[in-house]
Structure 1
Amino acid sequence: MHLFAFGLNHQTAPLSVRERVAFPAEGVALALRDLIARPRVSEAAIVSTCNRTEIYCNTQDPGVVVDWLAGYHALPIGKVEPYLYRLPESEAVRHAFRVASGLDSMVLGEAQILGQMKDAVRVAEQAGTMGQLLNTLFQRTFSVAKEVRTRTEIGANSVSMAAASVRLAERLFPSVSQTNVLFIGAGEMIELCATYFAAQHPKSMTVANRTLERGEALASRIGAKAVLLSELPAVLPGHDIVVTSTASTLPILGKGMVERAIKQRKHKPIFMVDLAVPRDVEPEVGDMNDVYLYTVDDLAGVVQEGRERRQLAVSEAETIIESKVGEFMTWLNTREVVPVIRALRDKAERLRRLEVERALKLLEKGEDPCMVLESLSQGLTNKLIHPPTQALSKAAANEREDTLALITRIYGVHD
């Protein structure tokens, strides 16, 4: 088993790079099966969020997986390599534990990443790319995350992306209750944002989604109306706040559409929060005078509020994680010797059966049972002791001392 993890996140790569290697949710299973088809890759799982793209795998050749990531997204390896972190064995375990516990997030202690990792595992299981190594890794990961959140205050006073969006809006508008809010998408992130904004009782709320059924489901929960994405050009001018987070691989709000909306609004400002990776709003929109556009990276400063108290819990969380990494590596190292132990037992069993069969034949011939038992024990002992004695007698001069020490330790032989 060769555990390996690598990827990039908000700390190592800008948004312009992260969005180029992100995996749309509906495409992860296909990507996993394509990766597993590569030589020397036996297990894989992909975690792809707005802040990170990471691949956890069981592979004897990590370079194959790194090359695959760049090739799958049609990027030269040189465009990706500078931003990647590569984590073998215990480093990969430690990283998984820290990510799930919220220690590696833009929002220290945030809990959403744990659900996203569980989703990644579920997709990998459905795609058939999970095996014993990754199954054990992630089950331990979820257990560690639960223990960290139970025993420490790592999640105390956490300011989510959703809450940060509301705080920014409150800085621009005298009162959110006097605004019209448009949500684009109907996924988990939009639902979180909608919940926060709904608590401020805006004048109206609209949910725009690719499928009307899912949009209406969210709209009914927050007291909003639902429209299709195709209706955006018509409804955009009527909204002061726009929050978007879809799985689209191309921008949904282009500069032209926003320019027309601003003109219809007579240059009344629009506040936009783009939480999607890849981005839903063309970057050029942010250069417009009457648009206040924020991306996930722009929210970093806001979500750091309350970090001081949570920072005190980090050392305690790290201690828990470190002990659990040691436990996992002990399990992993044990698994690596299991095939050898099994082979030794199989060989011993074959020798035992041969001696028993020989003894039974002697008994059938009427031989003295005591002599047969003596012969059986001597024959079995000689066969079992033959390999180490042969290793000692045939060891080269520069190997003899190490071989002697090894056999002495294994058999508990003392002068």
Structure 2
Amino acid sequence: MIFTLGINHHSAPLAIRERVAFGADKLQHALADLVHSQTVKEAAILSTCNRTEIYCAAETPDAVIDWLAHYHGIPRAEIAPYVYAHPQPEAVRHAFRVASGLDSMVIGEPQILGQMKDAIRAAEESGTLGTQLHKLFQRSFSVAKEVRSTTAIGANIVSMAAAGVHLAERIFESIADQRILFIGAGEMIELCAAHFCAQKPKQVTIANRTIERGRALAEQYGGTAIRLDELGEYLPQHDIVVSCTASPLPIIGLGMVERAVKVRRHRPIFMVDLAVPRDIEEEVGELDDVFLYTVDDLAQVVESGLESRQAAVVEAEQIIGNRVQDFLTWLQSRETVPVIRSLRDSAERMRRHEMEHALKLLAKGEAPEKVLEQLSQRLTNKFLHAPTQALNAAEGGERSELQTAAARLFHLHSQD
């Protein structure tokens, strides 16, 4: 049975989401621990700024919820009110909706698709991705492609990066007069850099743990790169700060920002924290002259764009509904695999036995025509012996059911 369980921006606030997030460097260890310690046959973990979800093939989701709480050292009672657990039909629908961008903060955003592919890659490398989940995610990607190619779900999309620019323009008359510091060099920062740098800012700086990667991004926009441990020195020089790293702990504390504000003589600083867990301590937002926004804050900005995409959402939901039924049919067909395999094995044993018998007769000099005739008769009798015996032995309603099944299985036509 396939289950999806987790928390997202619909079910839990940021303060809860960041406590159960998985860093990319922890995923494989977590997956191995989950599968080895629980009654879970297959598993994949999707952890982004908006959600932490576990897709698994298991008997029940209860043990997985216990594992999630235990792995993060959180009492189950603290996260249980925010956790959703979808059984198989809803789990499949949820996966398709997530891949298609229908469950995102920004409806139709394409970034989640890449994040899902990263999650699958991690599950493959850890050896926890089996046949059912592999098929589920391949179908998810196929559905997402169909939704994007046949509906307007992604038209005029308002991204989190664009929302950040919009908020910054409320604080500053012109971004072109500002100095921008990007912290991190991942996909989200690349998107933000593209949007902010389109406004031709006065200065661009990239701070990253790996200076080479930061320098590669900085060069695209004529900027400079610094190390993360230099943040305290460079922070006062910047008017706009956008951060999104995979750090498990805040990298910008209250004290660092207080010192920066003092050096800047209280000129305002606009800060966007897109990381989960947060990169910037929550208390920073309480400082005068500091405007701090999180992913949840930016979501409110993009909310206004939802109405224009509602018609496309309806179309997308119809597509997903059809594809969910197709996938559930495939899952049900897999339940017959053991029976089919057993049936084929039995037939193969009969075939080999009769083949050996026929070869012996040929070796004795029997006429080939006679041997072939006998082979076909013996095989036919053996193949039909069990179903014929079952039909003859059946009585009443059982006989009627078996007769109907036999007619369907062997494509028989009633003879009047």
| 8 Å Cα contact 2:43/2:129 also seen in 1 | yes
**Residues 401 and 60 of structure 1: CA distance in aligned 2, closer, same or farther (over 3 Å):** farther
**Residues 215 and 370 of structure 1: CA distance in aligned 2, closer, same or farther (over 3 Å):** closer
What is the distance in 2 between the residues matched to 1:209 and 1:35? 31
Name the residue aligned to 1:311.
310
| 8 Å Cα contact 2:391/2:399 also seen in 1 | no
Query: Matched residue of 2:321: which SS?
Result: helix
| 8 Å Cα contact 2:355/2:375 also seen in 1 | no
Residue 376 of structure 1 and its aligned partner are, at CA, apart by 7.6
TM-score w.r.t. length of structure 2: 0.91
Query: Matched residue of 1:312: which SS?
Result: helix
| 8 Å Cα contact 2:181/2:241 also seen in 1 | yes
Aligned pairs (5 A) from 1:88-237? 88-237=87-236
Q: Does 1:381 align with 2:381?
A: yes
Name the residue aligned to 1:411.
406
Count matched residues.
409
| 8 Å Cα contact 2:6/2:85 also seen in 1 | yes
- Which amino acid is the alignment partner of residue 221 of structure 2? I
- Which amino acid is the alignment partner of residue 141 of structure 1? S
**Residues 230 and 402 of structure 1: CA distance in aligned 2, closer, same or farther (over 3 Å):** farther
What is the distance in 1 between the residues matched to 2:212 and 2:359? 77
Larger CA deviation: 260-269 vs 30-39:
30-39
Query: Matched residue of 1:97: which SS?
Result: helix
Residue 72 of structure 1 and its aligned partner are, at CA, apart by 1.2
* CA deviation string 1:247-268 (max 9, x = no partner): 0000111111111111111222
| 8 Å Cα contact 2:40/2:59 also seen in 1 | yes
Residue 162 of structure 1 and its aligned partner are, at CA, apart by 0.5
What is the distance in 2 between the residues matched to 1:152 and 1:227? 43
**Residues 83 and 404 of structure 1: CA distance in aligned 2, closer, same or farther (over 3 Å):** farther
What is the distance in 2 between the residues matched to 1:321 and 1:57? 20
**Residues 160 and 375 of structure 1: CA distance in aligned 2, closer, same or farther (over 3 Å):** closer
Show structure 2 runs of 5+ residues with no match.
none
Q: Does 1:51 align with 2:50?
A: yes
What is the distance in 1 between the residues matched to 2:283 and 2:3? 38
Larger CA deviation: 404-413 vs 260-269:
404-413
Name the residue aligned to 2:9.
10
Residue 373 of structure 1 and its aligned partner are, at CA, apart by 5.5
Query: Matched residue of 1:236: which SS?
Result: helix
What is the distance in 2 between the residues matched to 1:388 and 1:263? 93
What is the distance in 1 between the residues matched to 2:165 and 2:147? 28
**Residues 384 and 197 of structure 1: CA distance in aligned 2, closer, same or farther (over 3 Å):** same
**Residues 385 and 80 of structure 1: CA distance in aligned 2, closer, same or farther (over 3 Å):** farther
Query: Matched residue of 1:313: which SS?
Result: helix
| 8 Å Cα contact 1:355/1:380 also seen in 2 | no
Name the residue aligned to 2:69.
70
Residue 360 of structure 1 and its aligned partner are, at CA, apart by 6.4
| 8 Å Cα contact 2:391/2:402 also seen in 1 | no
Percent pairwise identity: 59
TM-score w.r.t. length of structure 1: 0.91
Query: Matched residue of 1:174: which SS?
Result: coil
Show structure 1 runs of 5+ residues with no match.
none
| 8 Å Cα contact 1:114/1:142 also seen in 2 | yes
Aligned pairs (5 A) from 1:393-404? 393=393, 403-404=398-399
What is the distance in 1 between the residues matched to 2:49 and 2:326? 31
Name the residue aligned to 1:326.
325
| 8 Å Cα contact 1:208/1:227 also seen in 2 | yes
* CA deviation string 1:360-387 (max 9, x = no partner): 6678889998799579847863674346
